[in-house]
Amino acid sequence: MQRAIHLAVLALCGSVVAGSAFAQDPAAPEFQAGEAAQAFMEKLDTDKSGGITLEEATAPQREQFKSNDTDGDGFITEDEARAAFAAQVPPEMLEAMKERGMPDPGSTFVKNLDKNGDGKVDLAEFEQPTKDSFAAMDTSGDGIADEAEATAYFEAMKTKMEARLKEMQEQMQQMQPPPAE
């Protein structure tokens, strides 16, 4: 789930950064919640039961955490987060982020996940967003997220992101000076 969430967040962040370009590109692919849910299920339903448990959802995160915690001390620091982000994102995107004054991804990562304020992220903090997402997805409360629940969750996330993107575009338009007469 972590890889799926990382990819979804990365894709959504990219759409926010280049939102106006995608909004005007009729060839841009439309996000389909059902397709995303299918891919989610195929990737994480490791026991092929037709549903994903919290254990299945967090298992890839434990692997990702180990990979990002390069010194093996049980924490991900800003430097480790920055290096992990740089390994997953093309250098030109990092440069564009920097040029646009966007915050450092390592600092942002720690700021967003470090709930105890110690300046680093432990495994429990790293897993918490997935646990929260899983709880929101498992609407039946049975401890298993099935494809229908995943589809509804992804559709709701799409709707929220579209509303946020529209809001950001409107804010950007308000910041532009009026055309000269």
Per DSSP, the residues of 74-107 read: S-B-HHHHHHHHHHHS-HHHHHHHHHTTPPPHHH
Both tokens assigned to 132: 């929260």
**What digits encode the pLDDT tens for the residues 162-172?**
999 999 888 88
**What digits encode the pLDDT tens for the residues 19-39?**
333 333 444 457 788 898 999
Q: How far apart are CA 159 and CA 165, in angstroms?
A: 10
Residue carrying structure tokens 């995943």: 150
**What digits encode the pLDDT tens for the residues 138-159?**
999 999 999 999 999 999 999 9
pLDDT given at position 32: 87
> Residue 40 is inside which H or E element, if any?
helix 33-44
**What digits encode the pLDDT tens for the residues 68-125?**
999 999 999 999 999 999 999 898 988 888 888 888 889 999 999 999 999 999 999 9
* Assigned CATH for 31-175: 1.10.238.10
Whether the CB-CB separation of 171 and 38 falls below 8 Å is answered with no
In the chain, what are the domain boundaries? 31-175
Per DSSP, the residues of 157-172 read: HHHHHHHHHHHHHHHH
pLDDT given at position 100: 87
pLDDT given at position 172: 83
pLDDT category of residue 181 using cuts at 50, 70 and 90 = low
Whether the CB-CB separation of 51 and 144 falls below 8 Å is answered with yes
